[in-house]
C-alpha cells in the first residue's frame, strides 16, 4: 500500500578527533549494500598509496577554485596549508537519485552548509566514550607532538559544543555497538511519514472500504462480501 520516495537519504557523519568515524563508516559500508560514501575533492597532492576517484578526486587549486565559482560543491573549506576540500554536488545528487543512501564524512561547519541546502539531511555525531580515551587513542597513534595534541583537544571541545545541531549522537565505545546503533537510526528514518510518496489502495481494498462506509450493513453481509472477493 505504501510507496516510498525513490531518492535515497543524505547522511552526514561527523565526530571528534579519534572518535573512530572512519572505522565505523567502513563497517557500515561493508554491512549495507545500499549505502555509498561520497568521495570528496581536494587540492592537496596525492599521497603514496592513494587512488584518484577512490580516496579523493585530486585537482589543482586553480581547478578547485573554478569549481567553486561554478557552484559545484555542496560544501567546501580551505584548511591547513591552504588546501581545499569539498563535497561534489553532481556526484552526490546522482547517487541519491539512483536510490542510494549517501554518507558524507565532514566536519561540523560543512554539515551546517549541507543542512542549509538539504534540510532533510540526517546528522549523526560520533564521540569517543571520554576525553581520556581520546588522549589514549592519540598517543597510541604516536603521530602528534604535544602541541598538536593540545590543538586537537581544543578543536574537539569546540565540536562537542555543536552537538545540539545534530539529530543523533552515538558513543563509539564498542565498535559494533556503534555500528548497529547507526543502522537502527537509518532504519527508523526509513519509516518516517515524510519518506512516503503516496499510499496506493488496491481495487479490492477500495471495494471493502466503500462497503464498510455504508451504514446499512450487518456482520452477515460483511462476511458474504468478503467471501465474494
Which CATH number belongs to the domain containing residue 18 in this structure? Answer: 3.40.50.300
Could you tell me if 171 and 227 lie in one domain? no
- The whole-model pTM stands at 0.80
d(CA 167, CA 165): 7
Burial class (CB in 10 A: 0-12, 13-18, 19+), 229: exposed
d(CA 159, CA 87): 20
Could you tell me if 176 and 110 lie in one domain? yes
C-alpha cell at 141: 597513534
Burial class (CB in 10 A: 0-12, 13-18, 19+), 19: buried
In this prediction, residue 205 carries a pLDDT of 59
Say how many domains are in the chain.
Answer: 2
* More confidently predicted of 196 and 46: 46
Give 154-220 as a DSSP string: HHHHHHHTTGGGSSEEEE-SSHHHHHHHHHHHHHHHHT-GGGEEEE---HHHHHHHHHHH-SS--HH
Could you tell me if 128 and 20 lie in one domain? yes
SS3 content of the chain, % helix, strand, coil (to 5): 50, 20, 30
Could you tell me if 127 and 214 lie in one domain? no
Could you tell me if 43 and 139 lie in one domain? yes
Asked if 106 and 124 count as a contact pair (C-beta separation under 8 A), the reply is no
Query: Which residues lie below 8 Å from residue 27, measured CB to CB, with a gap of 6+?
Result: 175, 176, 179
Pick the range with the lowest mean pLDDT from 14-28, 62-76, 80-94, 199-213: 199-213
Pick the range with the lowest mean pLDDT from 7-11, 17-21, 180-184, 207-211: 207-211
Query: Which residues lie below 8 Å from residue 55, measured CB to CB, with a gap of 6+?
Result: 39
Asked if 86 and 77 count as a contact pair (C-beta separation under 8 A), the reply is yes
d(CA 44, CA 204): 61
| pLDDT tens digits for range 101-120 | 999 999 999 999 999 999 99
Could you tell me if 166 and 225 lie in one domain? no
Give me the residue label for grid cell 558513543: 171
Could you tell me if 44 and 79 lie in one domain? yes
Could you tell me if 215 and 122 lie in one domain? no
* Domain assignment of residue 117, given as a range: 2-191
Q: What count of Cα atoms within 13 Å lies in the side-chain half-sphere of residue 98?
A: 12
d(CA 9, CA 124): 13
Burial class (CB in 10 A: 0-12, 13-18, 19+), 168: middle
Amino acid at each position: 500500500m505504501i510507496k516510498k520516495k525513490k531518492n535515497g537519504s543524505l547522511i552526514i557523519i561527523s565526530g571528534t578527533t579519534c572518535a573512530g568515524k572512519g572505522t565505523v563508516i567502513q563497517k557500515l559500508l561493508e554491512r549495507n549494500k545500499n549505502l555509498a560514501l561520497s568521495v570528496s575533492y581536494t587540492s592537496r597532492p596525492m599521497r603514496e598509496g592513494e587512488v584518484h576517484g577512490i580516496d579523493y578526486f585530486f585537482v589543482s587549486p586553480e581547478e578547485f577554485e573554478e569549481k567553486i565559482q561554478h557552484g559545484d560543491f555542496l560544501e567546501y573549506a580551505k584548511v591547513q596549508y591552504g588546501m581545499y576540500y569539498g563535497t561534489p554536488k553532481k556526484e552526490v545528487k546522482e547517487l541519491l537519485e539512483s536510490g542510494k543512501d549517501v554518507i558524507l564524512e565532514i566536519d561540523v561547519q560543512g554539515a551546517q552548509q549541507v543542512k542549509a541546502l538539504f534540510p532533510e539531511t540526517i546528522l549523526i555525531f560520533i564521540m569517543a566514550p571520554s576525553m581520556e580515551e581520546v588522549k589514549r587513542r592519540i598517543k597510541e597513534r604516536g603521530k602528534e607532538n604535544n602541541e598538536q595534541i593540545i590543538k586537537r583537544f581544543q578543536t574537539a571541545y569546540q565540536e562537542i559544543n555543536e552537538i545540539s545541531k545534530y539529530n543523533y549522537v552515538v558513543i563509539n565505545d564498542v565498535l559494533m555497538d556503534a555500528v548497529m546503533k547507526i543502522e537502527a537510526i537509518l532504519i527508523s528514518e526509513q519509516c518516517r511519514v515524510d519518506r512516503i510518496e503516496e499510499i496506493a489502495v488496491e481495487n479490492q481494498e477500495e471495494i471493502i472500504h466503500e462497503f464498510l462506509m455504508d451504514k446499512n450493513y450487518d456482520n452477515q453481509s460483511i462476511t458474504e462480501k468478503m467471501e465474494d472477493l
